[in-house]
Structure 1
């Protein structure tokens, strides 16, 4: 309430510039002396701090200044009177707000406080503000309690203390501050009025519900104090928490009209971590909202947040929900230490995603990374069954048949969704996960589709940014996020952290940035789209090894890698998540498109490659690979070639290459520029019936010449008598000791120049 606005009442006295005849040196009552033409008062029109100001010399023991107009005091109305004052010269006085209380018929109301707290002026030129609140009620903060008898006042200030000093006074301000005291005037319903006990022990659930029902569109107030709620409460009106609530973990506090984290922080006594858990619980249990706004707050976390335990009442949820606009940060402590368990277990390729006969299986945590002989990268424990002594894995093992001792490492994540059975269509937006080099970021649920991160930062994870230990990454969308490593000072080969992994299909990684991880992404599913990303993994060493930025572990990949910036790293395509790594009636390494990317590396070893295929078993081949429109550049010592086969486990079957296009790329500081199909100019200087065309150094992956697409004479063909001959040859592919030559056979002995287009894949 503000009477100056609602009723048009004028509380403000006139400015000193309007004349001093309305400003009294007494009580301000009619007939009192004024400062007009007074020897100790003058108006100063241009003060550097106040503009116009009253300059007043203290001549009396109490030098009074009162406005002679009657400032009304209305029932239930509270006024703040304030002034700014500074000492100019002479003795330094004290200043206080003061007034004269007037009642009916102009009578003086006695027995009330007519002065506010005094402030001593301690230096010249320092602006000091004095203020006091006057009103009828004895409320906390009211300096001059005048009761209901006083109808008006003559307000101003007093100068007390030593006399002789000169001060300047800015225009007096009187304003309505009733809203500070009268909650019922601003549509508040107090839960105490409906039986809340404010002792933190008595169940106030019913009182809260009654207050909410009575509010009818007004705001519910929870005043200072502690309130215990034994059951769930959902407010249908806005609620303001000046006090805090205590409630069981499984009970829900629903704030339908002001659903955001700051409201929950107020409700739960500024405990940000608890407030987030209760807000998340409400997010998945009420239909009135689909987004939790963190309000830009930083949430301090003391231990991993078990998101399913915070929800408490369900393990399955598949509706769109969003958490946005805030930051998670951790408090250091042992809660973030990695759990490490070793256990003997048996693996059989016939049961590709399971370990059996697991010793002390109960101690192996779900979500743990699995390490051992024949275990590929980023294989996790998806579930465990103590009754059968078995563990379910996120991916098969490529060469672990038999019994061995495995190591299980359970990283600790700020947001841990592993307790859900299925969680789909969940989004994190505009959030920073600040790991401080002591923990990991997000552990996805074991099952679910459409998990999304957009415009998020995952900063300095100790081990992992985002981990999928099952298929909770199905259709995952990660857009415009930044992954910032904690291992930037280390050599690339010494880094251990990984930005993210995925096991399921249809993952989209778009316009992200990842800095100085061991790997940017380990992708085990198919139909992945990576576009517009920038990952860089260099270090300060010269001619040093680099690590794979992108690891693809699915042979029939169906992936698209387009428009990315691959910086000081490479793309590795393997089948390390294949329980039978040898080729066996499958599509093999197939359906991958690498187009229009920028590849850049500096000061790497000459054997470095940008695209590496790494078969883990014999018999595999390329069966659908497109590498076009890319820019390959090296700073420093040139590299031999941009592509290669890692034969640590096996080589490819070059005789079975099909549907391979490797062309229209740009090369800088690369010795062997390769393409397929590729056109080679061959000149035969002496007549011969068989012309050997050598394509070896320029064929991708040092592959074989499988076919010849075209032979075109570049000028006349001539026989040994130098006569022009019009002839067409046939070709023989896979010639020479390395099968990288083609032989053109003519009807007779000829010489000349031809343009020959050869390819490394079977044209049929």
Structure 2
């Protein structure tokens, strides 16, 4: 920086040869006396050291020499005033740089130093250089720190000490030395100043650490070049990259003041590598819990194995990745691994496959398919030596030896390498799967993972998969799942938005469009609230599939406030190695309350609530269906619920605590309710009245209890004489058990309101 060049400033005072009338013997201000014609001053033209110079005899206590010229003073400008002086004869004086400070009004700026350090001349003929730096900046190295009031100077020098001595003075120089202060002026330090080479091979890590230690609040500059770091490096200062870094895969870069994708992308020359390195640091850096993707899109050409990237298999501190988009780029790395193998299954070891052929080729995290295998069963561990696989759920009908298919889907973020990971959150992330790969595979165990305001766009196979119990207590809030199969008929779709293997998940305020299923859910204690999932298609009288699938009997789950569109709730026990009822909790704990169910272009056989027992003996024991709205468009469907008897039916002689009430039915032929209230009119006197609940009994169940018989009007005998008799009831009569007999003890006729139930209190 040189303002004499860049701004055209005239800094130099005139040479003495231009005339002594240009030099003041006072302060240099207009009207002050000059050295022109003074007896103690003369020009010398041929000095052996200086050439032309001023010879001056000291006659005053402080002999002043000032230029009449005004040298400009500006903020950010550093001027060095230099004089070369030698003693010729007489007393040896002291010499110092001096300058008069003037403001915009031509007045002296009082209170600022106007003389520099003094140097005593000790030898005749010895050239002594004196200098001082002038600037409005008050910093180390400035001899005359002036205020911003100062706009110009009359520069020169003073002779002090004994009078009578004669000195010769070379032309006084003023130069811009702002460049000397650049390192202090700039708010950065350059890693090259600390030994970094940037040649791509030399380990520059020590230089980076030294620059960080010296920065003292300033920013670090990494200039052009490739800087090799062969050890873990933590930078605690802000840092800016013009060049790039290279590091071994197992070494970590932690930027504590620039922890965002922009900086990491600049550091490694690509947003993909920057994302991986920032994600790697997230598991080791404790000052931040959030990685901000800076609203940018990262192209992902292959699945990211997060545990391998982090170099750990267990992590339970809260971490968040937010605010960006991951975009799958087509390539061979996304191809699903498919392995076929023979294995043996026993109900005694109901989460283990033994005698597994070519077990070494079966990847952990693979989906298990085969006869007798329920949906969303995954391989959670592999023991090659023992020839065994551990699987996430029991198999309902697979005892013996048979062939299985194992499909290992590929996920944009794969956390399955974590044996334990908890409290990991993804917020405002768009997973642009684009039919290339799947979204996220959760860790094998852990709790309270959280997905907030994320979008899963066109996953190839799955949006979110849980292969183990890493979904315990998971939150999925305000997310969108957009299928890759939206133009495919519902019956032919294979993609699933998500699955759950453990307990206590919260699925809330999500929107799910045209998947085979929204969620396959094992475990208990789930809250499923205010989601909108629709799975219709453009097929006339199309077959619909389940939106929610519960895979065990006692779910202790609330499904409330959802918009359930062209799909149904399926409740079975396909994850049970002994699916027949054997004294365990049967179908209970499911509360379906306040939802909107609709359908369109379906067949009349469509149902919204389906119970599918995979073994005999099961019954309803605690089920609520209330305050829901059921509406069909374009066709009148038969009824809203059914039991799928593919494997077994329910034992309705054991139903307990079933509450079906307050629902509305539109374009539905048969309403359902429990308890059922029937107004029975007996026109012919009879001792036994056979009262039918008709099709109102939910799931085609039987009547287990008559709660009340309330006559409406007079009960009379065959002669129309009033009779005041009290009947008793026999429930569960008739061919389907959906009738009750009201027995009066004598033949009577009349009208009565009969309240019947398909259940009894527990």
TM-score of the two chains, using structure 1 as the length reference: 0.76
Is the contact between residue 277 and residue 311 of structure 1 (CA under 8 Å) also seen in structure 2?
Answer: no
**1:304 corresponds to:** 303
SS in structure 1 at match of 2:245: strand
SS in structure 2 at match of 1:211: helix
* Alpha-carbon distance change, 225 to 75 in structure 1, aligned in 2, over 3 angstroms: farther
* Alpha-carbon distance change, 71 to 628 in structure 1, aligned in 2, over 3 angstroms: farther
| 1:617-656 matched pairs, under 5 angstroms | 617-656=615-654
**2:21 corresponds to:** none
- Matches of 1:292 and 1:483, distance apart in 2: 23
Is the contact between residue 424 and residue 451 of structure 1 (CA under 8 Å) also seen in structure 2?
Answer: yes
Asked if 1:219 is matched to 2:212, the reply is no
SS in structure 1 at match of 2:203: coil
Is the contact between residue 711 and residue 757 of structure 1 (CA under 8 Å) also seen in structure 2?
Answer: yes
Tell me which of 644, 661, 664 is aligned to 2:659. Answer: 661
What is the CA deviation profile of residues 167-201 of structure 1, one whole-angstrom value per residue up to 9, with x for unaligned ones? Answer: xxxxxxxxxxx99x967523101111000011011
Q: Aligned pairs, how many?
A: 599
- Matches of 2:627 and 2:195, distance apart in 1: 74
| 1:56-455 matched pairs, under 5 angstroms | 184-269=184-269, 271-312=270-311, 314-455=312-453
What is the CA deviation profile of residues 639-682 of structure 1, one whole-angstrom value per residue up to 9, with x for unaligned ones? Answer: 11100000001111111111111111000000000101111110
Is the contact between residue 483 and residue 514 of structure 1 (CA under 8 Å) also seen in structure 2?
Answer: yes
- Matches of 1:451 and 1:576, distance apart in 2: 26
- Matches of 2:578 and 2:272, distance apart in 1: 46
- Matches of 1:184 and 1:542, distance apart in 2: 77
Query: Gapped runs of 5+ residues in structure 1?
Result: 4-8, 10-69, 79-150, 153-177
Tell me which of 704, 715, 718 is aligned to 1:720. Answer: 718
CA shift at 1:727, angstroms?
2.3
| 1:457-606 matched pairs, under 5 angstroms | 457-606=455-604
CA shift at 1:248, angstroms?
1.0
Query: Gapped runs of 5+ residues in structure 2?
Result: 4-8, 10-69, 79-150, 153-177
- Matches of 1:244 and 1:729, distance apart in 2: 92
* Alpha-carbon distance change, 640 to 77 in structure 1, aligned in 2, over 3 angstroms: farther
Is the contact between residue 369 and residue 410 of structure 1 (CA under 8 Å) also seen in structure 2?
Answer: yes
CA shift at 1:603, angstroms?
1.5
SS in structure 1 at match of 2:193: helix
SS in structure 1 at match of 2:200: coil
SS in structure 2 at match of 1:266: helix
CA shift at 1:538, angstroms?
0.3
- Matches of 1:677 and 1:197, distance apart in 2: 84
Is the contact between residue 706 and residue 763 of structure 1 (CA under 8 Å) also seen in structure 2?
Answer: no
* Alpha-carbon distance change, 693 to 226 in structure 1, aligned in 2, over 3 angstroms: same
Is 185-194 or 485-494 further displaced after alignment? 185-194
Structure with higher Rg: it is 2
- Matches of 1:484 and 1:75, distance apart in 2: 60
CA shift at 1:73, angstroms?
9.6
Is the contact between residue 188 and residue 221 of structure 1 (CA under 8 Å) also seen in structure 2?
Answer: yes
* Alpha-carbon distance change, 629 to 75 in structure 1, aligned in 2, over 3 angstroms: closer
* Alpha-carbon distance change, 75 to 712 in structure 1, aligned in 2, over 3 angstroms: closer
What is the CA deviation profile of residues 258-305 of structure 1, one whole-angstrom value per residue up to 9, with x for unaligned ones? Answer: 211111001101x21211111111111011111111100101011000
**2:174 corresponds to:** none
- Matches of 2:200 and 2:324, distance apart in 1: 30
- Matches of 1:184 and 1:430, distance apart in 2: 41
RMSD (Å) for aligned C-alpha atoms: 2.1
What is the CA deviation profile of residues 537-586 of structure 1, one whole-angstrom value per residue up to 9, with x for unaligned ones? Answer: 00011111100000000111101101001000000000000010011011
- Matches of 1:370 and 1:196, distance apart in 2: 53
Is the contact between residue 433 and residue 458 of structure 1 (CA under 8 Å) also seen in structure 2?
Answer: yes
CA shift at 1:696, angstroms?
2.7
- Matches of 1:409 and 1:72, distance apart in 2: 79
CA shift at 1:763, angstroms?
3.7
